Chain A
Amino acid sequence: MLKTFFRFMKLMGDRLPIYLGAILLSTIGDTGRRIANSYLIKNIVTAAQTNQFDQILFVVFINFAVFVLGLFLWRFGIIRYNIEAWIGAGKIEKLIFSKAMRLPMSYYEKNHSSDFLSKLIFDARKALDIYTSRLRRLLSAILSTVIYLIPMLYFSWDLTFCLIVISLLAFWINSLFANPMKKFGRCLSAQNAKMLEKLTNILSGIELIKVFPVRSRILKEYEDAGKEYFHIQKNGNRLSAGLECLNCMFDLIGALAFLGLGIWFVSLGRINLGELTALYVLYGAFRNVFSEIGLYFPQLMECIANAEKIFEFLDLEEEPKQWNYKESDNKIEDENSENILSMKNVSFSYSNERKILENFSMEIKKGSFVAIVGESGCGKSTLAKLLLGFYPLRSGSILINGKEYSKLTLKEIREQISYVPQEPYLYETTIAENISYGRYHANREEIIAAAKAANAHDFITKLPNGYDTILGERGNTLSGGERQRIAIARAIIRNTSILIFDEATSALDNESESLIQDTIKNLKGERAILMIAHRPSSILSADMVVRLEL
Chain B
Amino acid sequence: MVKTGLRNGYILLLFIIFSFILNETIIIGNDFIAEATDQMLSGQQIYFSEFIIPLICMIILGTIAAYLKSIFGKQYSSTVQKDVRLSLGNHLLKLPFSYFDEKGTGSIMTRLIFDIEEMGRFFSEILPNLLVNLIIVMTATIYLINIDVMLIIVLFISYPIMLVVADRLSKKLAELAKKLRTHMDKRTEKAYDAIQGIVIGRSYNLYDIQRKKIEVDINNMVTQACKSTRISSLGWVLKNIITTIPVIFCYLFALYEITQGKITVGEMLAFTVILNRILYPIGDIVFCANDIREVGVSLKRIQEIYNQKEERKDGTIHNRSENTKIIPAIEWKEIDFCYDNSKEHPILNGISFSIEPGEQIAFVGGSGEGKTTIFKLLCGFYEKNSGQYTLFGHPFESWNLEAARGFFSIVSQNVFLFPETIKQNVACGKEHATEEEIVEACKNANIHDFIMSLPKGYETLVGERGVLLSGGQRQRISIARAFLKNAPILLLDEPTASLDIETEEKIQEAIEKITIGKTVLVIAHRLSTVRNAKRIYVVNGGRIVEIGTHKELLEKQGIYAEMYAKG
Contacts and interface: CB of A to CB of B under 8 A. Distances in A.
Interface in A99-119: 100-102, 105, 108-113, 116-118
Contacts of A249: 59, 62-63, 66
Given A101-B210, A207-B97, A473 B481 contact: no
Interface stretch (B153-161, B216-224, B317-325): B216-224
A441 B319 CA distance: 58
A216 B428 CA distance: 10
Given A207-B381, A277-B272, A223 B78 contact: no
Nearest to B217: A93
Contacts of A426: 197
Interface string B94-134: 00010011001100111011100100000000000000000
Contact of A244 (B66, B97, B405, B410): B66
A377 B200 CA distance: 21
A60 interface: yes
B202 A100 contact: no
Contacts of A511: 366, 563, 566
A323 interface: no
B367 A480 contact: yes
Interface in B472-500: 472-473, 481, 485, 494, 497-500
Interface in A249-265: 249, 252-253, 255-256, 259-260, 263-264
B109 A238 contact: no
A125 interface: yes
A233 B416 CA distance: 33
Contacts of A79: 229-230, 233
A503 B58 contact: no
Nearest to B94: A215
A229 B82 contact: yes
A273 B200 contact: no
Interface stretch (A7-15, A334-342, A396-404, A413-421): A413-421
Interface string A80-100: 001100110110011001101
Chain A interface SS verdict (over half): helix
Contacts of A209: 93
A203 B225 contact: no
A273 B37 contact: yes
Contacts of B237: 71, 74-75
Given A67-B244, A219-B90, A242-B67, A263 B204 contact: no
Interface string B455-473: 1000000011101111111
Interface stretch (A43-51, A162-170, A357-365): A43-51
Contacts of B276: 281, 284
B193 interface: yes
B78 A510 contact: no
A506 interface: yes
B196 interface: yes
B136 interface: no
A377 B203 contact: no
A345 interface: no
Interface string B366-386: 111001100000010100000
B187 A201 contact: no
B471 A481 contact: no
B467 to A, nearest CB: 5
B41 interface: yes
A497 interface: no
Contacts of B142: none
A376 interface: yes
B345 interface: yes
Interface centre among B188, B230, B345, B472 (most CB of A within 10 A): B472
Contacts of B203: 388, 414, 417-419
In this complex, the interface size class of chain B, counting residues with CB under 8 Å from chain A, is: 35 or more
Contacts of A229: 82, 85
Interface stretch (A143-151, A176-184, A192-200, A444-452): A192-200
B10 interface: no
A381 interface: yes
B36 A259 contact: yes
Contacts of A242: 67
A509 B563 contact: yes
Given A113-B464, A120-B188, A48 B413 contact: no
A479 B372 contact: yes
B62 A252 contact: yes
A476 interface: yes
A230 interface: yes
Interface stretch (B163-171, B248-256, B328-336, B434-442): B248-256
B358 interface: no
A507 B494 contact: yes
A317 interface: no
Nearest to A82: B229
Given A83-B226, A237-B78, A414-B204, A267 B46 contact: yes
A472 interface: yes
Interface string A268-279: 000001000100
A55 to B, nearest CB: 12
B206 interface: yes
Nearest to B473: A377
B485 A212 contact: yes
A113 B106 CA distance: 12
B344 A464 contact: yes
Contacts of A213: 406, 428-431, 485
B326 interface: no
B162 interface: no
A512 B366 contact: yes
A155 interface: no
Contact of B368 (A411, A419, A481, A514): A481
A86 B222 contact: yes
B251 A40 contact: yes
B219 A90 contact: yes
A204 B105 contact: yes
A136 interface: no
A428 B93 contact: no
Nearest to A214: B428
B269 A86 contact: no
A193 to B, nearest CB: 10
Contacts of B408: 211
B195 interface: yes
A379 B431 CA distance: 34
A205 interface: yes
Contacts of A267: 40, 45-46
Given A37-B244, A245-B70, A428-B104, A211 B195 contact: no
Interface centre among B33, B381, B563 (most CB of A within 10 A): B33
B86 interface: yes
Contact of A117 (B81, B188, B221, B244): B188
A376 B67 contact: no
A376 B89 contact: no
A321 B428 CA distance: 42
B204 A377 contact: no
A135 to B, nearest CB: 16
Interface stretch (B287-295, B388-396, B501-509, B511-519): B501-509
Contact of A33 (B41, B225, B244, B481): B244
Nearest to B51: A260
B92 A256 contact: no
B40 A202 contact: no
A394 interface: no
A125 B210 contact: no
Given A94-B214, A213-B429, 19 more contacts: A45-B269, A48-B259, A71-B240, A79-B230, A90-B221, A93-B187, A97-B191, A98-B211, A111-B464, A199-B89, A202-B92, A205-B416, A207-B97, A246-B63, A248-B62, A263-B48, A376-B499, A477-B339, A480-B372
17 contacts: A45-B268, A51-B259, A74-B240, A120-B188, A200-B105, A200-B109, A205-B418, A219-B90, A230-B81, A249-B63, A252-B25, A266-B40, A377-B473, A437-B206, A464-B344, A473-B105, A511-B366
Which 5 pairs, one residue from A and one from B, show the smallest C-beta to C-beta distance? A481-B367, A376-B472, A509-B525, A248-B66, A245-B67
